[in-house]
């Protein structure tokens, strides 16, 4: 059986590089993509010139400006980045049909069966980099390895414009000197726990037997750490382009602690998520909320729905119930969001399907009118209402129809402004 070969292609500072390519006057200058530094937004991407000042993704824009006052701050132009990303995908598909897009700027490729046409995996990586440079005037870093984990780590080592090949049998030696945070699945929290027990590098982690890792971190996570330290990864490249989640979040101009205003924002976010679910032909079985306070502490809460849905009213009820159970102590919030996950095709059947003669699973909470469940029998009616409202809003603007609970008070005017900002996408 042929050795499997995986490439991880990662564009270098993608958004900022596209801006510098299309605006020659920005080349060689620190560029920060994310918006107005006077706003409360965060950095989406920073050019390498900006990164030299310590600016990185997810940093508050105001902090980025303090680090580099001379930086050029630009808004996110997602439409343009998507067009370039589609051009990138067309290049990758020339070399193999086995392409798994992770984001607009990165993808995995399985090139095991491409070697007779295009040469060795390293040759294929060089050809891809050359095509990206010639056709898109951009650079990419590529990791070449027998599996996804190693390819991902390799692509990040020599950025920008890097190419790193990990040969079969060299996984442990390749990983050993790296910080444990380089490994897939090890975030900041796990890295801190490892550091507390003296594990700083992958070599340190490799010295721990499986039994000790499982005692310290639990059976499942202990095994995952043991495998990651040895570069073991059997995940295939998944070519399906199925959407895995649909979400919406909002960073406020000023912190909010009024529950009524928060609920109004969630209502608008939930309607937006539901509309996009219907457009994608998907139903959601899981709802997740995200809260971030003024100190940047983030809380997420998740709930599995009693039946899959694409109705905003049900998503909103669940989001509000999760919020009430989140332990929030009234601290001002700078960001809230809601996302629909556990997606499945709508034609696979809805729990609220009321077609005559077919069985229908009722909500466990229908009789009580639970916020987390709602009345599934009413879902088809609400779906029709939401679809009609969406059509009106597309024709006449987002403020043409609002819930009665949001009408007629000064606070409601503010909530409608939040609503309108959320609908602009």
C-alpha 100, offset from chain centre: 15
Nearest-10 Cα torsion for 68, 73, 76, 82: -80
Q: Is 11 helix (H, G, I), strand (E, B) or coil?
A: strand
Distance CA 228, CA 205 (A): 9
The CA distances from residue 21 to 81, 90, 291, in Å, are 12, 19, 36
Q: Residues with Cβ < 8 Å from 56, sequence gap 6 or more?
A: 43, 46
From residue 172, give the alpha-carbon distance in Å to each of 156, 221, 248: 17, 19, 40
Q: How many CB atoms lie within 10 A of CB 40?
A: 17
Helix H or strand E segment including 108: strand 106-110
> What's the chain's length in residues?
425
Residues with catalytic annotation? 106
């Amino acid at each position: 059986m042929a050795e499997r070969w995986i490439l991880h292609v990662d564009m270098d500072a993608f958004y900022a590089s596209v801006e510098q390519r299309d605006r020659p006057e920005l080349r060689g200058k620190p560029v920060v993509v994310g918006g107005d530094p006077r706003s409360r937004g965060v950095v989406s991407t920073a050019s390498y010139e900006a990164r030299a000042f310590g600016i990185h993704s997810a940093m508050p824009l105001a902090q980025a400006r303090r680090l580099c006052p001379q930086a050029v701050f630009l808004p996110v132009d997602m439409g343009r980045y998507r067009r370039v990303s589609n051009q990138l995908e067309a290049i990758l598909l020339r070399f193999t049909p086995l392409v798994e897009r992770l984001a607009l700027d990165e993808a995995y490729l399985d090139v095991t069966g491409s070697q007779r046409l295009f040469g060795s995996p390293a040759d294929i990586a060089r050809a891809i980099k050359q095509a990206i440079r010639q056709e898109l005037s951009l650079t990419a870093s590529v990791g070449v390895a027998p599996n996804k984990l190693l390819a991902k780590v390799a692509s990040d080592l020599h950025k920008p414009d890097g190419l790193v090949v990990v040969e079969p049998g060299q996984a442990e030696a390749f990983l050993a000197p790296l910080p444990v945070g380089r490994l897939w699945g090890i975030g900041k929290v796990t890295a801190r726990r490892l550091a507390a027990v003296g594990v700083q590098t992958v070599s340190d982690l490799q010295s721990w037997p499986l039994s000790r890792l499982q005692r310290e971190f639990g059976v499942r996570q202990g095994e995952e750490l043991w495998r990651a330290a040895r570069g073991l990864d059997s995940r295939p490249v998944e070519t399906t382009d199925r959407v895995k989640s649909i979400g919406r979040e909002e960073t406020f101009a000023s912190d909010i602690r009024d529950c009524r205003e928060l609920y109004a924002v969630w209502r608008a976010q939930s309607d937006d998520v539901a509309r996009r679910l219907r457009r994608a032909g998907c139903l959601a079985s899981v709802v997740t909320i995200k809260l971030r306070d003024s100190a940047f502490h983030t809380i997420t809460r998740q709930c599995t729905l009693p039946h899959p849905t694409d109705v905003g009213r049900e998503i909103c009820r669940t989001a509000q119930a999760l919020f009430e159970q989140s332990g929030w102590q009234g601290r001002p919030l700078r960001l809230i969001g809601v996302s629909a996950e556990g997606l499945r095709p709508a034609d696979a059947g809805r729990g609220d399907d009321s077609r005559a003669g077919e069985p229908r699973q009722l909500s466990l909470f229908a009789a009580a009118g639970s916020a987390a469940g709602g009345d599934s029998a009413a879902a088809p009616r609400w779906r029709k209402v939401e679809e009609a409202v969406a059509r009106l809003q597309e024709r006449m603007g987002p403020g043409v129809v609002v819930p009665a609970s949001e009408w007629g008070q000064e606070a409601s005017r503010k909530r409608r402004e939040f609503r309108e900002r959320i609908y602009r996408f």
